[in-house]
Chains A and B, each alone.
Chain A
Amino acid sequence: MSAATPGNAVSTGRFTRVLIYVTLLIFALFYLLPLAVMLLNSVKPLSEITGGNMMALPKVWTIKPWLEAWSTAQIGVQPTGLRPYFINSIEIVVPAVVISTVLGALNGYVLTKWRFRGAQVLFGLMLFSCFIPFQIVLIPMARVLGLLGLAGTVPGLILVHVVYGIGFTTLYFRNYYAAFPTELVRAAQIDGAGFFRIFWRILLPLSGPIIVVSVIWQFTNIWNDFLFGSSFAGQASQPITVALNNLVQSSTGVKAYNVHFAGAIYAALPTLVVYIVSGRFFVRGLMAGSVKG
């Protein structure tokens, strides 16, 4: 006799089970196909792509397209490769993620534990910012950046992403902290801890899951952003998404598909890494607000 567990709660026959797994496997392969095509073709010489089958394994393995995409490929007018733009992206993404997460955490802390008149309305307005389409703010934002003297710079892009991200990060942290016992904050107040001390010593150490959610969300969004990058970046501050577009769109001579594939993987790699490293915390964090632990 075995106890009921989630694993045997519904008993399924062997045939059903095989059917389920085969179906799942087919779907998994289907979704992996684009990545596989990109990987395969990025390690082939160009002649094999133009002359052969997209799906075939390379006859000659080469890492030349990867090197070329990284450091010598023609991006727009400069043969710099993607490297400087990759660095630009990191310079934009890291501060933008950190700042928007910290501000979101502080907002969530204030909106739940230091309630003031109008807090609910303010939160509603911040939530509203999550629904504003990017395109609407392009012109006003360009004007603001111009007035601040940040047009075409990395700090300008950081500002744009922080402003756009606060709505989301505030939402995450507010909902997380709403389930956080207020008595803890009161106890810390009586113990003599101030506003920031309570935040730093009590709330933040317990915010692991929601920090991961916020970081993943912000990182993927900002890294993958194309619109703001192409609209507000100058020559020297373009992010990798814009550079990848320039690489692929440059129409001088032959299209080096293998280099394009390698470049695309470079552009997608950091978000993939972030997901793989912290993906399991992501789900845990999303659940944390809804189910009281």
Chain B
Amino acid sequence: MGFLDIANVTKSYGNVEVLHKVDISVAEGEFLVLVGPSGCGKSTLLNMIAGLEGITSGEIAIKGRAMNGVHPSKRNIAMVFQSYALYPNMTVGQNITFGLEMHGTPKPEREAAMKKVAAMLQIDKLLDRKPGQLSGGQRQRVAMGRALVRNPDVFLFDEPLSNLDAKLRVDMRTEIKKLHQSLKTTIVYVTHDQIEAMTLSTRIAVMNKGYVQQLGTPKEIYDTPANIFVATFMGSPAMNIVPARVVMQDGAPHAEVRDASGGVQRLRFSQQNLAGWQGREIALGIRPEAITDPEGADRKSGNIQTLTNLVGVTEPAGSDTFVTMALSGKDVIGRMRADAAVVAGQTFEFAVNMEKAVAFDPATEERIAP
């Protein structure tokens, strides 16, 4: 039993079930990120943990205590909203202490708690201002201060960074991570941004259409996605999925793909167990960073395969150069070193790190190997 248990939880609006049997157990101090496209049910699940939405069936428990039907204020949780939801009529200080006031904490204690949190978040100079006079980043800090001051069992974050500009978002992301490392609190964090999910979490639940597609550490999700949805949702640019045929050559399974000119090329699998798939079609998943120029290939990898193909488009991004090519009729993106000598319209020898390749069943879209 974990610290926060979500057991067989479903949510229906009328006859429409929007969350199907969600089962997640969160340990104390964990940073769980719920990630998925809009409409996948992640915010609904968060609101159910908060008590802002009812639970149709199943149980949510915090510290072993069932929370079904318990009022939000009695769950000892705190939430940071996407729009920050600061009370516009109150000063920053009043915003931070409102929750304590509602819970009947005496004034001297409230003041002390507020001072501590304000110092931690570096908003002590803003305490007398109204939210309208603050910048986006400052409001974000105040919203976190309001959550922190309550010293809750579980923090809930509902897309807290999506209203910030790109640079501030990266800064605040680091700060949330620092905060989690120093406070060791349990956090459930909703986002649609897979980079936030990867960088912040200790575990990720990837959701789609009301189902948890995969629950695991960022590395598990990234390296061994449960299905094609997870594979393409996590990572930017997305994982390349190309049709391939499994053929045996020299006693080892190979993925047979067609290059831009229609020629057949074979890429040898490594440890991937493809027993039973010989001669059959699979969907081969290769991350862009596993397709490189030969000099940029991972030296630790035990299985770099060579793929000669026509370069379609090159996109220099400063730190890397992205190359698009056609493979088995699909556009495939590879990531070269910034000054790799790739020229659009010419053939190039790419290095494919097949240790990182993933095979999916094209019919069910589930992962076969590794």
Let me know if B52 and A186 touch, CB within 8 A. Answer: yes
Let me know if A181 and B83 touch, CB within 8 A. Answer: yes
A190 cross-chain contacts in B, Cβ below 8 A: 50-52, 72-73, 77-79, 99
Q: Which of A82-90, A126-134, A191-199, A271-279 contacts B (4 or more CB under 8 A)?
A: A191-199
A203 to B31, CA, bound (A): 34
Residues 143 to 200 of chain A near chain B (Cβ within 8 Å) = 181, 183-184, 186-193, 197
B253 to chain A, nearest CB (A): 53
Residue A205 at the chain B interface, CB threshold 8 Å: yes
Residues 71 to 108 of chain B near chain A (Cβ within 8 Å) = 71-73, 77-79, 81-83, 85, 87-89, 98-99, 102-103
Residue A206 at the chain B interface, CB threshold 8 Å: yes
Let me know if B73 and A192 touch, CB within 8 A. Answer: yes
Known: A186-B52, A206-B88. Contact between A193 and B102, CB under 8 A? yes
Nearest residue (CB) in A for B88 is A206
Let me know if B85 and A186 touch, CB within 8 A. Answer: yes
Known: A183-B83, A184-B85, A202-B89. Contact between A191 and B52, CB under 8 A? no
A187 cross-chain contacts in B, Cβ below 8 A: 79, 81, 85, 87, 146
B52: which of A189, A192, A201 is its contact (CB, 8 Å)? A189
B78 cross-chain contacts in A, Cβ below 8 A: 190
A192 to B103, CA, bound (A): 6
Known: A192-B73, A192-B99, A193-B102. Contact between A186 and B81, CB under 8 A? yes
B93 to chain A, nearest CB (A): 14
Interface of B is mostly: loop
Known: A190-B79, A191-B73. Contact between A183 and B102, CB under 8 A? no
Q: Tell me the count of chain B residues lying within 8 A, CB to CB, of chain A.
A: 22
Nearest residue (CB) in B for A190 is B72
B102 cross-chain contacts in A, Cβ below 8 A: 191-193, 197
B99 cross-chain contacts in A, Cβ below 8 A: 190-192
Q: Which of A184, A190, A193, A205 has the most CB of B within 10 A?
A: A190
B87 cross-chain contacts in A, Cβ below 8 A: 184, 187-188, 201-202
A250 to B267, CA, bound (A): 109
Let me know if B98 and A191 touch, CB within 8 A. Answer: yes
A186 cross-chain contacts in B, Cβ below 8 A: 50, 52, 72, 79, 81, 85
Residues 195 to 212 of chain B near chain A (Cβ within 8 Å) = none
B77 cross-chain contacts in A, Cβ below 8 A: 190
Nearest residue (CB) in A for B104 is A192
A59 to B194, CA, bound (A): 87
B311 to chain A, nearest CB (A): 49
Nearest residue (CB) in B for A193 is B102
A2 to chain B, nearest CB (A): 30
Known: A189-B52, A205-B89, A206-B89. Contact between A183 and B81, CB under 8 A? yes
B305 to chain A, nearest CB (A): 51
A205 cross-chain contacts in B, Cβ below 8 A: 89
A147 to B50, CA, bound (A): 49
A186 to B89, CA, bound (A): 16
B83 cross-chain contacts in A, Cβ below 8 A: 181, 183
A189 to B51, CA, bound (A): 9
B54 to chain A, nearest CB (A): 13
Q: Which of B52, B71, B77 has the most CB of A within 10 A?
A: B52
B89 cross-chain contacts in A, Cβ below 8 A: 202, 205-206
A183 cross-chain contacts in B, Cβ below 8 A: 81-83, 85
A193 to B71, CA, bound (A): 11
Nearest residue (CB) in A for B152 is A190
A190 to B81, CA, bound (A): 11
B72: which of A181, A184, A189, A202 is its contact (CB, 8 Å)? A189
A176 to chain B, nearest CB (A): 14
Residues 49 to 68 of chain B near chain A (Cβ within 8 Å) = 50-52
Q: Which of B81, B85, B103, B146 has the most CB of A within 10 A?
A: B85
B185 to chain A, nearest CB (A): 16
A274 to B95, CA, bound (A): 34
A206 cross-chain contacts in B, Cβ below 8 A: 88-89
Nearest residue (CB) in B for A189 is B72
A190 to B77, CA, bound (A): 7
A192 to B51, CA, bound (A): 12
Nearest residue (CB) in A for B102 is A192
A192 to B74, CA, bound (A): 8
B146 cross-chain contacts in A, Cβ below 8 A: 187, 191
A181 to B78, CA, bound (A): 18
B82 cross-chain contacts in A, Cβ below 8 A: 183
A183 to B52, CA, bound (A): 10
A154 to chain B, nearest CB (A): 36
A26 to chain B, nearest CB (A): 43
A202 cross-chain contacts in B, Cβ below 8 A: 87, 89
Q: Report the 6 A-B pairs with minimum CB-CB distance, sorted nearest first.
A: A192-B73, A192-B102, A191-B99, A187-B85, A183-B85, A205-B89
Contact sample, A vs B, 20 pairs, CB 8 Å cutoff? A183-B81, A183-B85, A184-B85, A184-B87, A186-B50, A186-B52, A186-B79, A186-B81, A186-B85, A188-B87, A189-B52, A190-B51, A191-B98, A191-B99, A191-B150, A192-B99, A201-B87, A202-B87, A202-B89, A205-B89
20 more CB-based (< 8 A) A-B contacts, given A186-B72, A190-B52, A190-B99? A183-B82, A183-B85, A184-B87, A186-B79, A187-B81, A187-B85, A188-B87, A189-B52, A189-B73, A190-B72, A190-B73, A190-B78, A190-B79, A191-B102, A191-B150, A192-B99, A192-B103, A193-B102, A197-B102, A202-B89
